[in-house]
Structure 1
Amino acid sequence: MVEVARFPDGQEFYRVHPRTHAVDDICSFLRDSEIVQAGLIPWGSNYTFLVTLDIGEQNPLLGVYKPLRGEAPLWDFPDGTLYRREYAAFVLSEALGWQIVPPTVIREKGPHGIGTMQLYMHHVREEADYFAIRERHAREVKRMAVFDLIANNTDRKAGHCLRDEAGHV
């Protein structure tokens, strides 16, 4: 189901309800759980933090927090839109049924204000090599290229292509 929602500044966006209760629960945790630890990931042009979320269970949830305040200006996109585009990529991935983008929400309250919070994906390190993934998972890499074309993603890098513990790219 798709509904129209609004950003704090009043601009509308479409919200797709996640495909399963598990994804819905993860999105709720990402949006609402207390951030108990946040560490800056020092590489990249935008501020990105690996955060630990207290979800009230033994094992905390890891997320990737990208605040609006940490976005570097780009010549080809309006300022202050990266977090919205990150969320839109998740919405598109869900709408297509491709599940290419990990669960991602807009979090209004974070250590540095509004931004996205995305589920941290544990990945298989020995296959964190784009060329190995491209050869072994050609169909998934091609689908990702089509996704990037539809989403107008101009920032795909080899390091963004990871295989998760379940074998998905």
Structure 2
Amino acid sequence: MSAPERISSRSVTVLDLLSKGELTVRGRVREASNAVLFCSVAHDGEEASCVYKPVAGERPLWDFPDGTLAQREVAAYEISEATGWGLVPPTVLRDGPYGEGMVQLWIEADPSADGLLALVGGDEPDDGWKSVGLADVGEGRTALLVHADDPRLRRLAVLDAVINNGDRKGGHLLPAPDGRLYAIDHGVTFNVEDKLRTLLWGWAGEPLTAEARDVLGALAAALGDGGPGLADRLARLLTADEVAAVRARVAALLVDGRHPEPSGSWPAIPWPPV
């Protein structure tokens, strides 16, 4: 279920390619608020497309320490891999043409994939959809924002609760041609305060699946290991308080046994939502 470890019949892994390969900048993603560079990366006869986000191009945020977004992106990948769900593309922290930054495998979304979000009329979603809430669509009109009742999204909702994702937008969801779902843009994560903002509130208050409980139990065990495992890797990317907060969120999810609900102390849905 995790991201493919090899990109061909050769012995070069994706993480080797991203970590050791030569980065060549091909362009810039202009819509992003921080510097996001589209690159190619080549190593030992292998080549792939990737995204490079240099720390030097990060816009300061009032509620996150400066120069830490790249590390949070890598930490989100580490948690994703630990769950076994492989929801975050392979991601590394390395030096690049503009200094240290996050490098992540480029995922080309499948344009023919079924939609995961929609605006519909009426007060209740159709079968196969979960309600998020009413959205302003202009001229004093509203529509019901819904997302697919999709197990891939449900896993992502659990992951977002663990990493305390403050910015889960629709544009961050990338359905791949092989049917897998990837999620990107995890810089605004791992705050010690509750910052969860997401479009995936459709399961709020509902019991966690048995699969999610098993995954969270395994994650709690991995986070409690002081050896050279997940906890150690997170400690190189986050503060001690932030790692402790991850443990606390996992423990709280296991005790409560339900998907979290909006706290009311923080906007529940990011803006713009897409």
TM-score (norm 1): 0.79
Q: 2:6 aligns to what? A: 22
Contact 1:129 1:158 in 2 (8 A): no
Which of 62, 72, 84 does residue 49 from structure 2 map onto? 62
Query: Which runs of no fewer than 5 residues in structure 2 stay unpaired?
Result: 119-128, 130-146, 182-274
How far off its partner does 1:128 sit?
A: 7.6
How far off its partner does 1:118 sit?
A: 0.3
Which of 82, 94, 97 does residue 111 from structure 1 map onto? 97
> For 1:22, what is the secondary structure of its paired residue?
coil
Is structure 2 residue 84 aligned with structure 1 residue 100?
Answer: no
Cα distance in 2 for residues equivalent to 1:128 and 1:80: 37
1:162–1:69 Cα change, 3 Å:
same
Higher mean C-alpha deviation, range 92-101 or range 36-45: 36-45
Q: 1:52 aligns to what? A: 40
Contact 1:128 1:162 in 2 (8 A): no
Amino acid corresponding to residue 65 of structure 1 in structure 2: Y
Q: After TM superposition, where is structure 1 displaced by more than 6 Å over at least 4 residues in a row? A: none
How far off its partner does 1:127 sit?
A: 3.1
Q: 2:62 aligns to what? A: 75
Q: 2:190 aligns to what? A: none
How far off its partner does 1:55 sit?
A: 2.9
Which of 132, 138, 151 does residue 139 from structure 1 map onto? 151
More helix by share: 1
Larger Rg: 2
Q: Percent identity?
A: 38
TM-score (norm 2): 0.50
Q: 2:74 aligns to what? A: 87
Higher mean C-alpha deviation, range 77-86 or range 20-29: 20-29
1:39–1:157 Cα change, 3 Å:
same
> For 2:96, what is the secondary structure of its paired residue?
coil
Query: Which runs of no fewer than 5 residues in structure 1 stay unpaired?
Result: 1-17
> For 1:162, what is the secondary structure of its paired residue?
strand
Cα distance in 2 for residues equivalent to 1:21 and 1:154: 29
Amino acid corresponding to residue 22 of structure 1 in structure 2: R
How far off its partner does 1:98 sit?
A: 1.1
1:41–1:30 Cα change, 3 Å:
same
